[in-house]
Chain A
Amino acid sequence: MLKKKKNGYAWVVFAVATALSCSVLGAFAKGAAIAVLYPDVREPYSSIFKDVLEGIKREADGKVKSYALKKDESVANLKQWLRKQDPGTVILLGNRGKSVAEEVQSEFVTLTGAAILSDENINAGLVGISLAPAPSRLLSKLKQLAPKVRRVIVVYHPETNGWLVELAKSSAKELGLELKTLPAKDVREAAGLYQQELGDQLNGGDAIWLLQGDPTMDERSLLLTILNKAWSSHTVVFSSNPSHVKRGALFSLFPDNFNMGKSLALKARQIKEGDSRTPEPLKDLLIAVNVRTAEHLNLNIDRSQLRDFDLIFPNR
């Protein structure tokens, strides 16, 4: 009986010691942990988030907890989960992640990733790395592939992509490029601007930049007409969407998911340390090139250069 009682005390001591050590360890872990919320979507879309998550884990030395956001996710459940994790930073991935940002950013330190950030989002206080390729990277790639280009024309929706165009202005200046910025409020106004710009005055010294997710671009009605006209005037078109390259744009930059994940984890750390709360465009990028268009534009791309491209079109 006595023996049993002794054992009973030992159990209590052990339980208290374990609880204490867990809470001490937990306190250590708490400071470093990142919680990642990502959309629960089907393949192949889910592979994007898997790769981003891998990158985050790599940079954060694995101290990452993740949560798959259902389409009709309950914010209450989500908050409960987050409170339980008590993370240092919350990375919100995808459009779904972005849409819950407002709900959780008052309580947690958040940043968004793998979603396109608009001026509207930024004004609403969202911080993060947009899916939009950095204008500096696009313009320097343009200089490299088409060195004769002197002027870049961009039609854009100021409330969506104004911040990117502002970034582009300084990059263009550094690269010695003239940037002609044409704000438009809708597709109709954009069509009028393209009509005006795609006149006969365009030549090989001009380039057109197609922005992604811009409400002034319509893929069905505008895109092919722009590309066809650019072909006949030997004008470079570059874009932020690789499917435009398949249709005849010279090149596009698209996300390198794993490295984007690493950058997100790095930015999470910086935000946690109180730095870098400005939103950024994406600098972890891959390149898609249309070789047929390159040949038409007399841009000499030989086979050895092809190795540097991640996607090559067309298949013929």
Chain B
Amino acid sequence: MFKKFSLMVISVFLVSNFSYAGIDEEDELSLSYGDEDFISIATGRKQPIAKAPAVASVITSSDIRAIGAKDITEALELVPGLHVSKKAGGYEPIFVVRGIFSEFNPQVLILINGSPITSLLFGNRGEVWAGMPVEAISRIEVIRGPGSAVYGADAFAGTINIVTKNSSEIDGAEMGVMASTFNTVRAWAQYGGAIDDWELSLSLEVLDTNGQSEEVNSDIQSILDQAFFTTASLAPEGINLGRKSLDFRLDVSNGIWRLRAGYQARRDVQSGAGASQALDPIGEGESDRLNFDITYQNKNLEDWEIEVKASYFDVSIETDLVLFPPGAFNTIFPGGFPDGVIGKPDVYERHYRFDTSGFYTGFDGHDIRLGAGYHYQDQYRIEETKNFMTAITPAGALPVPLGGLIDVSDIAPFNREEVREVSYLFIQDEWKLIRDWSLTAGVRYDHYSDFGDTVNPRFALVWDTANNLTTKLLYGRAFRAPSFAEQFNINNPIAIGNDNLDPEIINTYELAFDYTPSSSLRMGLNIFYYEMQDIIRFTPVARNTGDQTGQGLEWEFEWTVSDEFTVRGNYALQDSEDEDTDGDAPNAPQQQLYLRADYELMPGWSLNAQLNHVMDRERAIGDLRPGVDDYTILDLTLIGKELLRGVDLTISVRNLTDEDAFEPSLAPGLIPNDLPLAGRSVFAEIRKSW
């Protein structure tokens, strides 16, 4: 102890540069309000985050702005153990958590303000999702590991809750315009204010881009051209990522009642590297997502806090795709596909949800959380027009021409119009066992009209080991509901639905430490082990066939080097094995390193550098290509604040070194040289607030 103090006294003289007389405005305010984050909270611009005994990360709007992220996919790269990969079709994001990778990515639940945005067809965000802009976002809460005991289905590998800004976080009117490489223009406007007891916020964001167009030098059509002696492939050619988007959000609240509405429109969304992995510069999709929710909250009852929420979510997705280019299969079906193999699948869904939850504090030493709800999910319309039928031939599955575009919606659609009803109950108790020890135990029961019942428990034992050390031991079980594609696909001989599927299951065990060795350094370490069972795969009929186990660790730190300079970073390691093949789980990075430095150059000017190093992505067994090359992407962002009254400027260079970076194309490698990511790009943004 005395030695420690002696060292401390010496260090005081090494680091102390405190001078009261010369103190500036911000420093003086920090003495009363805490640092900048505290001031944002204390002035009501930001809410503190609720307690959750899980391995959680929070990305705030200031993080998002500092790193120059313009879409949630960029912001989420900050999270230890989370990597954002791409699907060939539309370059839709695949959120890979702890080695759990799949093409449609239904194992990660995404919520906006606590309401799932999961579509029934693939159990993911739905096709033609085309990203989500970030200006309306207050923070993104990410829970790695299972969350089904609270959130229900699909909180499996991870849960991402996007919380939008309330009126106090916008506070007045703000607008901005951004222009960048790839002919990208973004513009946004926001308003936050109050009328009597009602607080109102509005946000509108629009995007128009041609998208990056890195070249794919060979695609599936290149392989088919060799097999069938055709010359149809468009490769080598750039990928197609043009799109237009509009996002609108409304939030009205009086402290008891809250109405939220959101509308996301996507138009002229191009096909990325092609829906069937053949380049398609013609095909496009469009989607509309509309949501409303009304919440009633009462925190003033004796021993109770209750919340009741009714919500509506409507999704329509329409596509017009050229699956194979003109000239494809011409030697087998001469003149069969003069405009290419065309498919136009459309899907329409409506979700009605009623959720209630409450905290009960009537028992000493216990915080009990209860909840129940009912969801009615309706895939109410399936439409499809196409010029082919898929048939199994001695040469494999081939599209057979129908002689022209035919509306097959009533005769041979790709999926069925179906309804799913879900009802659930959950209870969770946070029990203070003895001094410094608490146990959170929870269980949720879900009844699904299609596949039956599932029960998912979780336990978290938290030990407040010291003032600067917390230790947690966690267990959770989660499930992933079979998607409607997996249950009800029809008329597609290579992916046939099975309405007798069980949900995928995962059991996860974690040991986590949160340690603050000094006032300027914070560290977190967690070690995990999981077992996945009943993984659903098309063989070609969907079946619960796969098992996967994985283990690994995630380490993160935040080091405040000085008032002007902060360094943050994380390292993630995972070793997951496909139990069927005894091979490494493919495509997911086995190691990731992320480093971020924020430097205040001078008052009002800040510079951010971030580096994302993605390593060790293996192929599936049977895919003979060497592993995907590692990559390192460096981004630099310079922000000048208050250059004129209320005017800020941001300039950002993405992929500064113009690294050739690729995400894996799936086995067997129909795009043999993988999916290219964007090269170097630059954006400039100007924003004004009133």
Chain A residues at the B interface, C-beta cutoff of 8 Å: 39, 41-45, 47-48, 51, 94-96, 114-116, 118, 131-132, 160, 187-188, 191-192, 194-195, 198-199, 212-213, 215, 218-225, 227-232, 240-243, 246-248, 254-255, 257, 286, 292-293, 295-296, 298, 300, 302-304, 307, 310-316
Contacts and interface: CB of A to CB of B under 8 A. Distances in A.
Interface of B: 1-2, 4-5, 8-9, 11-13, 15-16, 18, 20, 23-26, 28-36, 38-45, 48-53, 56, 58, 171, 299-300, 303, 305, 359, 361, 364, 367, 432, 435-436, 438, 462, 464, 466-468, 470, 472, 514, 516, 518-520, 604, 641-642, 689
30 contacts: A44-B36, A44-B43, A48-B33, A48-B39, A118-B20, A131-B28, A187-B16, A191-B5, A192-B9, A221-B15, A224-B518, A228-B466, A228-B468, A230-B467, A241-B30, A241-B31, A242-B33, A242-B34, A243-B30, A246-B38, A247-B519, A255-B32, A257-B43, A295-B464, A303-B359, A303-B367, A313-B48, A315-B50, A315-B56, A316-B53
A310 B42 CA distance: 8
B369 to A, nearest CB: 10
B520 A220 contact: yes
Contact of A222 (B12, B50, B52, B514): B12
A116 B32 contact: yes
Contacts of A96: 25
A247 to B, nearest CB: 7
A58 to B, nearest CB: 14
A131 B48 CA distance: 23
Given A95-B24, A187-B18, A227-B467, A195 B359 contact: no
A139 B32 CA distance: 17
Given A116-B32, A195-B2, A248-B467, A47 B45 contact: yes
Nearest to A224: B519
B515 to A, nearest CB: 12
Nearest to B56: A315
B8 A212 contact: no
B38 to A, nearest CB: 5
Given A232-B466, A302-B361, A311 B53 contact: no
- Counting chain B CB atoms within 10 Å of each CB, the highest count among A94, A191, A310 belongs to A191
A278 to B, nearest CB: 21
B75 to A, nearest CB: 18
B641 A44 contact: no
Nearest to A130: B32
B465 to A, nearest CB: 10
B468 A224 contact: yes
Contact of B435 (A48, A192, A298, A312): A298
A237 to B, nearest CB: 9
A315 B5 contact: no
A218 B15 contact: yes
A207 B436 CA distance: 20
B46 to A, nearest CB: 8
B8 A302 contact: no
A116 B33 CA distance: 12
Contact of B23 (A95, A131, A243): A95
A255 B33 CA distance: 7
A316 B519 contact: no
A311 B41 CA distance: 8
A185 B686 CA distance: 48
A255 B9 CA distance: 32
A116 B519 contact: no
Contact of A220 (B4, B15, B472): B15
A36 B584 CA distance: 67
Contacts of B519: 219-221, 223-224, 247
Contacts of A132: 32
Given A48-B33, A194-B5, A316-B462, A248 B38 contact: no
Contacts of B9: 188, 191-192
Contacts of B36: 44-45
B48 A312 contact: yes
Among the interface residues B1, B4, B299, which one has the most CB atoms of the partner chain A within 10 A? B1
A231 B43 contact: no
Interface centre among A51, A218, A296, A314 (most CB of B within 10 A): A218
Given A215-B18, A311-B41, A315-B48, A296 B464 contact: yes
A218 B45 contact: no
Given A198-B1, A227-B467, A246-B34, 5 more contacts: A116-B28, A221-B11, A247-B516, A296-B435, A316-B51
B464 A51 contact: no
A45 B367 contact: no
Question: Of residues B16, B41, B171, which shows the largest number of chain A Cβ atoms within 10 Å of its Cβ?
Answer: B16
Contacts of A231: 466-467
A303 B464 contact: no
Nearest to B646: A43
B25 A94 contact: yes
B28 A221 contact: no
Contacts of A255: 32-33, 42
Nearest to B435: A298
B159 to A, nearest CB: 16
